[in-house]
């Protein structure tokens, strides 16, 4: 039988939008020493908007004329139409706002934690992370030197564009690349917003002596920017979906560890944690995997869980 006090707490929790799916995990919540937060959709709202489009190598191999921003956005949006990633939704929404049409994509497939690919007009196109380019050894300009240069006679425009992209990354933006085969056609920068509740959640958890960490598949600049903004204790960036659970195990060697995520690429990490908490309107996977579901998408509810767990179980023993 469930002790009455636990039953009461579970129902109080439910009324405040906390679904306790695993009672043992709820009990463990009072001993949490570290909480790892997923970035996108958890500490941030996961609502991206496209802020910059950078055109890189050309549409046409011979003239190397650059593809215009609208075409880049249109191709990217066409591919992303089949993805449910927050980045995909951001690109689609930005294209829609600008009245940009999308085209038909065949054989769509996702590259988990890295991007997506598909066939348009018989040609393979991809939208991928900077990590994917590194992994495949793809450079921004495919080694081609620009024929035209308005800014300077000496500097190749490849450098100017690489610099522009570095600058954008340093602003804490997420950058993805549009490729045709191995050729990089353009870069899209996206910005997300840190949830206003994240700041309070982190500072209070830290005040309770709980380590606050972040795990993300996004680039290290974005990660370090969010980490600085929220004064996190530490972060792991550019972590692939299959590596996320391993990072949780690493932290568990030292601390009783909670993991908060939205289930996009982080379900195994939620399952691995001592207390797995789903947030962000949770994907079905997140809700099924997590021990506790935060219905209101409020990271401050992590504190509430810990407090409620402490109160509940201190009354019992
Ligand atoms: P996070 O850990 O921040 O939730 P993910 O693991 O979901 O991030 O994704 C990591 C990275 O993979 C993204 O920052 C992006 O570069 C790339 N990526 C994943 N899915 C897509 C997609 N549909 N389109 C473009 N890029 C993607
Ligand atoms: Mg995620």
Q: Is the CB of 39 under 6 A from ligand 1?
A: yes
Q: Which of 132-136, 154-158, 255-259 has the weakest average pLDDT?
A: 154-158
ipTM attached to this prediction: 0.95
Q: What is the pLDDT of residues 248-300, one digit of tens each?
A: 999 999 999 999 998 877 889 999 999 999 986 656 777 788 999 998 889 99
Q: Is the model's pLDDT at 208 over the cut of 80?
A: yes
What is the rounded end-to-end Cα distance, in angstroms, of the chain? 16
Going by the DSSP 8-state scheme, the letter that residue 5 receives in this structure is H
Same domain membership, residue 175 and residue 61: yes
Nearest-CA residue for atom 14 of ligand 1? 218
Going by the DSSP 8-state scheme, the letter that residue 232 receives in this structure is -
Q: Is residue 205 very low, low, confident or very high in pLDDT (cuts 50, 70, 90)?
A: very high
Same domain membership, residue 158 and residue 72: yes
Same domain membership, residue 245 and residue 269: yes
Same domain membership, residue 303 and residue 237: yes
On average, the pLDDT of the chain sits at 87
Q: What is the pLDDT of residues 166-197, one digit of tens each?
A: 888 888 899 999 999 999 999 999 999 899 99
Nearest-CA residue for atom 4 of ligand 1? 40
Q: Is the CB of 283 under 6 A from ligand 1?
A: no
Query: Do the Cβ atoms of 293 and 13 come closer than 8 Å?
Result: no
Q: What residues are labeled active site?
A: 38
Indicate the residue among 128, 156, 191 that finishes a domain. Answer: 191
**DSSP sequence for 157-188:** HHHHHHHHHHHHHHTT-EEEEEEETTEEEEEE
**DSSP sequence for 67-135:** PPHHHHHHHHHHHHTT--SHHHHHHHHHHHHTT------EEEEEETTTEEEEEETTEEEEEE-HHHHHH
CA of 317 to the centre of ligand 1 (A): 45
* Number of the ligand closest to the Cα of 178: 1
Distance CA 129, CA 217 (A): 9
Same domain membership, residue 177 and residue 278: no
Q: Is residue 158 very low, low, confident or very high in pLDDT (cuts 50, 70, 90)?
A: low
Same domain membership, residue 120 and residue 187: yes
Same domain membership, residue 281 and residue 237: yes
Position in ligand 1 atom list of the atom nearest CA 264: 7
Q: Is the model's pLDDT at 149 over the cut of 60?
A: no
Same domain membership, residue 305 and residue 231: yes
Indicate the residue among 191, 222, 249 that finishes a domain. Answer: 191
Distance CA 171, CA 219 (A): 12
Same domain membership, residue 245 and residue 181: no
Q: Is the CB of 176 under 6 A from ligand 1?
A: yes
Q: Is the model's pLDDT at 155 over the cut of 90?
A: no
Q: Which of 282, 254, 251 is nearest to 266 (CA)?
A: 282
Q: What is the pLDDT of residues 21-63, one digit of tens each?
A: 999 999 999 999 999 999 988 899 888 999 999 998 655 555 5
What is the residue range of 38's domain?
4-45+195-314
Total structural domains within the chain: 2
Q: Is the model's pLDDT at 109 over the cut of 60?
A: yes
Q: Is the CB of 301 under 6 A from ligand 1?
A: no
Same domain membership, residue 90 and residue 14: no
Q: What is the mean pLDDT of residues 65-78?
A: 90
Q: Is the model's pLDDT at 154 over the cut of 60?
A: no
Residue 292's H or E segment, with its range, is strand 292-294
Distance CA 60, CA 95 (A): 23
Going by the DSSP 8-state scheme, the letter that residue 146 receives in this structure is P
Q: Is the model's pLDDT at 156 over the cut of 80?
A: no
Q: Is residue 10 very low, low, confident or very high in pLDDT (cuts 50, 70, 90)?
A: confident
* Number of the ligand closest to the Cα of 278: 2
Same domain membership, residue 70 and residue 11: no
Indicate the residue among 191, 215, 250 that finishes a domain. Answer: 191
Q: Is residue 164 very low, low, confident or very high in pLDDT (cuts 50, 70, 90)?
A: confident
This prediction has a pTM of: 0.82
Q: Is residue 111 very low, low, confident or very high in pLDDT (cuts 50, 70, 90)?
A: very high
**Per-residue pLDDT at 12:** 80
Q: Is residue 97 very low, low, confident or very high in pLDDT (cuts 50, 70, 90)?
A: very high
User: Which of 48, 72, 129, 192 to mutate to test ligand 1, by most ligand atoms within 8 A of the CB atom?
Assistant: 129
């Amino acid at each position: 039988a469930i002790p009455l006090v636990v039953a009461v707490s579970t129902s109080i929790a439910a009324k405040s939008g906390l679904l306790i799916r695993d009672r043992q995990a709820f009990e463990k919540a009072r001993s949490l020493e570290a909480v790892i937060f997923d970035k996108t959709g958890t500490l941030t709202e996961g609502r991206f908007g496209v802020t910059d489009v950078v055109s890189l190598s050309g549409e046409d191999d011979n003239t190397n004329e650059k593809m215009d921003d609208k075409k880049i956005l249109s191709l990217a949006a066409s591919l992303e139409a089949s993805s449910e990633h927050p980045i995909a939704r951001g690109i689609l929404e930005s294209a829609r706002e600008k009245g940009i049409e999308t085209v038909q994509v065949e054989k769509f497939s996702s590259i988990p934690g890295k991007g997506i690919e598909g066939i348009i007009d018989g040609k393979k196109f991809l939208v991928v992370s900077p990590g994917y380019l590194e992994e495949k050894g793809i450079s921004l300009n495919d080694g081609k030197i620009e024929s035209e240069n308005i800014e300077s006679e000496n500097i190749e425009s490849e450098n100017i564009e690489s610099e522009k992209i570095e600058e954008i990354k340093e602003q804490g933006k997420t950058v993805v690349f549009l490729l045709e085969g191995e050729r990089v056609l353009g870069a899209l920068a996206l910005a997300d917003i840190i949830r206003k509740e994240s700041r309070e959640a982190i500072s209070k958890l830290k005040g309770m002596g709980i380590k606050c960490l972040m795990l993300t598949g996004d680039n290290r600049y974005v990660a370090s920017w969010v980490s600085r903004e929220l004064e996190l204790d530490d972060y792991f960036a550019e972590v692939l979906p299959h590596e996320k659970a391993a990072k949780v195990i690493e932290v568990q060697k030292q601390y009783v560890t909670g993991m908060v995520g939205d289930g996009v690429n982080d379900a195994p990490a939620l399952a691995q944690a001592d207390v797995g908490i789903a947030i962000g309107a949770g994907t079905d996977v997140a809700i099924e995997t997590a021990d506790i579901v935060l219905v209101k998408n409020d990271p401050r509810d992590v504190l509430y869980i810990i407090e409620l767990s402490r109160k509940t179980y201190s009354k019992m023993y």
